Structures are given as structure tokens and as C-alpha cells.
């Protein structure tokens, strides 16, 4: 882990490779960077240089405590392009066959895995064996059994396993959680989560069962699963679910189009959620309690998040979710900071257990008991 001074040097060197930017924007970015920070910096390699990998990489340019120092990709042209854009040394660039060599690279502390779901487990285990911290996009794995193997591998290697739950650091979300903990809503009674959009390219990996492990539930529905837990403040004890498929020619065997699922919590609160790849404009959370409510729409998009409660509008300022996430994750790894809502492998494993149970409920038509502890 290098110091902030090294980051400033990198920024100065890389500025010449970036597109022309308005002076006001540069001034804002420089003000962020120039905030006094002399502590250690988490050096991160991104694995998987797709669209979301690019979003994370750009956001990290505004980080103080995390820095992009390495790249892992199976596409040589992408490696070359990203090297130039982000001023990454060629010695810190790897492909999927040789990235185990990061073990001997002091310029890389952690690897952020942003690849198709089916690849997460094997890649995470290899990263852990190389002695590097693992940050993995959600869902953490294809199922709970794979997730457990990842947790065990990282524990054995003595490295951290964090999962990309960016909403756990989002200010308006955290305000609703604070209000709920403070008793502002009273006894929580009901949660509704709507997560969906009309998916595009039918040939993309998200519609390939072997790579995705499912369909909308694995990709977008997990937001409502996880959101139900942090909004209600409990882990569910049962689930029921129903699958609807209106376009079987588009959504093949094992690739869910639309799933409605219901969760029951120990307190008696219930959740009703929808996950779909066939409808747009679905990004809404609603929490109802005896004394009040919270509504967020959009609730999980890249932002800005918008929300209101019975006390009025949520006005917390918007910042890049990915930038805040990486800053906070650096603090978790470097300084053992405890986040308001967990982002570790144990947290992600609970979501995987719920996903497994939802699919089981869809197959059997029965209520499935959950044991997440």
C-alpha cells in the first residue's frame, strides 16, 4: 500500500492522457484529491474490463484511499487501451491464465472481480491463494455452496472478502437506516421492493444460464433481496415465490424473466418483491411502519437516489457510488473499519441462501424455511 503522495504523482502523470475536462470539474476533482491525507492507499487491480469495470475505474480517480494499479483481462486490446488511459504499468497487467503471478507484485493489494457470475468462485479462490484481498461483484457466486467455498478460501489465506454492495454506503439509504434504528418508523410492518428493466441484447452473458446462474433474480432482483434485509433490519425466516415467463423464446430454460417473491421476518414484518427483465421503470423501495414510512425511487440506480419519508424529502448530497464504495472498502481493509451495513462474504452468503430458496420455492410452489445464521 502506497501513500497519498504517490497517488498525487500518478494523477499528475496520468492527467495528460485524459480527455479535456472543464476547468470547474478539474478544480472540484483536485479539491478532493488535495484534501490532506498521508495514510496508506489500497492498491487495486480490476479483473474484467467491461462496462461496469470502466465505471469503477473512472470513479476511483476521485479516491484518496484507493488507487487503480493493476489490470486483468483476456482481451489484449483492452489492456493496452486501459494502460494508456489510467497510466498502468505493463508489469501490473495480466490475463486470466497468468494472474496468479500477482502474488509477487507489491503494487497490488486487492483484486476487484467484475466478471460473469460463474467465474467468481474460481477467480476469487485464485486471488486469495495469491495472498491478495478479494473484492467481488454481486452476486458473490452462483449459489450458497460456492459462496461458502469462497469464504473458506479467503479465511484460510488470511485475506479480506468484500462484495460490491455500493448501496450500503449511499447517504440517503443510510439515513433511512438511521431513522429506522432510531425508531422513527415505529414497528416495521411491510417492505416492497421493485427491481427490473427490459433487458437488451439477447446474446449477452446475463441471459446465458451457464455464465449467469439464472436471470433477473441474479442480476437485478438481488437488490430487492438485500434491500429488504437492510430496510427492515432483520433477516427473513421464510420465503415464497412465483415465476412468470411471457417470452420463453427470449428467456431459455433456467433463465428467469420475472419472479415475484415474499419474505417473512421474525418480528412479523413481511416483504413483497418483484424481479424482472421484462418491464422498465422498476427501481423502487417502500418501507411502512406503525409511525411512518420511507419511499425511495430510484432506490438502487447509480444515482442520484431520490427519497422521502413521512418527515419530508431526503436531501443528502449525491456522490459517485463507486467512488464512495472504494474509499470505504479501503478503510475496511486498511483500518478494520466496521461499516453500518456489512459488505463481507458472510453478508453476501445470506443473499445467496435466499436466492437458492427463491428458486426452490418457484420449482415446488411451497414455502421454504430459511436459516441464515
CATH of the domain at 152: 3.40.50.720
Q: How many domains does the chain have?
A: 2
Rounded-to-integer distance, Cα 336 and Cα 328, Å? 10
pLDDT in tens, 60-84: 999 999 999 999 999 999 999 999 9
Is 138 marked active-site?
yes
pLDDT in tens, 223-245: 999 999 999 999 999 999 999 99
Of 112, 223, 230, 277, which is the active-site residue? 223
**Grid cell locating 133:** 484481498
Q: Are residues 162 and 245 in the same domain?
A: no
Query: Is residue 34 assigned to a domain?
Result: yes
Of 64, 65, 138, 172, which is the active-site residue? 138
Query: Is residue 339 assigned to a domain?
Result: no
Q: Are residues 176 and 99 in the same domain?
A: no
Residue range(s) defining the domain that contains residue 206: 167-315+344-369
Q: Are residues 171 and 298 in the same domain?
A: yes
Question: Is the Cα dihedral 149, 153, 155, 160 positive or negative?
Answer: negative
pLDDT in tens, 336-371: 999 999 999 999 999 999 999 999 999 999 999 999
Which residue spans within 122-257 are E strands per DSSP?
Answer: 133-136, 161-163, 188-196, 238-244
pTM for this model (two decimals)? 0.90
Please give the pLDDT value at position 1. Answer: 54
Amino acid at each position: 500500500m502506497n501513500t497519498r503522495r504517490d497517488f498525487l504523482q500518478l494523477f499528475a502523470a496520468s492527467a495528460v492522457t485524459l480527455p479535456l475536462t472543464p476547468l470547474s470539474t478539474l478544480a472540484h476533482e483536485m479539491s478532493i484529491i488535495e484534501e490532506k491525507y498521508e495514510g496508506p492507499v489500497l492498491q487495486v487491480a480490476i479483473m474484467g474490463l467491461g462496462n461496469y469495470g470502466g465505471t469503477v475505474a473512472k470513479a476511483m480517480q476521485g479516491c484518496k484511499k484507493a488507487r487503480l494499479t493493476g489490470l486483468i483481462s483476456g482481451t489484449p486490446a483492452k489492456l493496452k487501451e486501459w494502460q494508456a488511459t489510467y497510466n498502468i504499468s505493463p508489469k501490473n497487467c495480466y490475463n486470466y491464465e497468468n494472474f496468479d503471478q500477482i502474488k509477487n507484485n507489491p503494487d497490488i493489494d486487492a483484486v476487484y472481480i467484475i466478471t460473469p457470475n460463474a467465474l467468481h468462485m474460481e477467480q476469487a479462490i485464485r486471488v486469495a491463494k495469491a495472498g491478495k484481498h478479494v473484492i467481488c461483484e454481486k452476486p458473490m457466486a452462483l449459489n450458497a455452496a460456492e459462496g461458502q467455498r469462497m469464504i473458506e478460501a479467503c479465511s484460510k489465506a488470511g485475506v479480506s472478502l468484500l462484495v460490491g454492495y455500493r448501496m450500503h454506503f449511499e447517504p440517503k439509504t443510510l439515513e433511512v437506516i438511521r431513522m429506522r434504528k432510531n425508531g422513527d418508523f415505529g414497528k416495521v410492518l411491510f417492505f416492497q421492493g421493485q427491481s427490473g428493466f427490459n433487458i437488451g441484447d439477447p446474446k449477452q452473458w446475463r441471459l446465458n444460464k451457464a455464465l449467469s446462474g439464472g436471470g433477473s433474480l441474479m442480476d437485478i432482483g438481488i437488490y430487492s433481496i438485500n434491500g429488504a434485509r437492510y430496510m427492515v433490519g432483520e433477516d427473513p425466516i421464510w420465503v415464497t415465490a412465483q415465476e412468470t415467463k411471457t417470452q420463453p423464446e427470449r428467456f431459455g430454460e433456467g433463465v428467469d424473466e420475472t419472479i415475484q417473491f415474499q419474505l417473512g421476518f421474525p418480528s412479523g414484518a413481511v416483504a413483497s418483491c418483484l424481479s424482472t427483465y421484462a418491464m422498465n421503470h422498476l427501481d423502487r423501495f417502500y418501507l411502512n411502519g406503525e409511525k411512518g414510512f420511507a419511499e425511495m425511487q430510484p432506490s438502487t440506480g447509480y444515482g442520484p437516489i431520490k427519497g422521502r419519508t413521512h418527515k419530508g424529502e431526503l436531501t443528502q448530497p449525491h456522490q459517485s457510488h463507486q467512488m464512495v464504495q472504494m474509499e470505504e472498502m479501503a478503510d475496511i481493509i486498511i483500518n478494520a473499519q466496521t461499516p453500518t451495513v456489512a459488505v463481507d462474504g458472510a453478508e453476501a452468503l445470506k443473499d445467496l441462501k435466499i436466492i437458492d430458496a427463491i428458486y426452490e420455492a418457484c420449482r415446488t410452489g411451497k414455502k421454504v424455511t430459511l436459516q441464515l445464521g
